[in-house]
Structure 1
């Protein structure tokens, strides 16, 4: 894990309570008050979802809630921005999945 352990404003990391959460069925630890994006990044997770149509990987981009690239499903609620949501004890997070490709029109049929 990679985190700032002694921050001039936020204080020392070891003074914060640890919380556990799940991402895609696997258990991880975070610190209280961390965002979901920060907790995932600190645990080595860079890909948060895939593009709904193309399936290309997506991760943290702007980290200020503007771009919507970090959307995940939190406790069964889809399209939650990981960079604005604080991780909580027992939280279940799932990455965004590619949607099934719609059937293409067959030539001559309508």
Structure 2
């Protein structure tokens, strides 16, 4: 099945929970120029099966497999989680570099160990 994309596709829901948003983004992203995660933190997650490998992610946008991806201003980033996800993706053959993964300079960073 192919999807012709024009304009903007927003994937969201009216409630919090496990509703499959990550899977929908993964499905739509092969034809996208940019995919972004616009809010939230690493307390929730999404599971995507890409080319037979299961990826359980908490911060990385599901679009990272196909399109340029961005963590936008309202995302709350735990650096340890983000680094672990980037390393896992790279170990499994997924390119993550400054050309295809952008981080807003205005994201919120969790500073662990600060009293």
Alignment TM-score > 0.5, same fold: no
Tell me: higher relative CO, structure 1 or 2? Use CA pairs within 8 A at least 6 residues apart: 1
Which one has a bigger Cα radius of gyration?
A: 1
- Shorter-chain-normalised TM-score: which range? under 0.3
> TM-score, length-normalised on structure 2?
0.24
Task: Point out the structure with the larger helix share.
Answer: 2
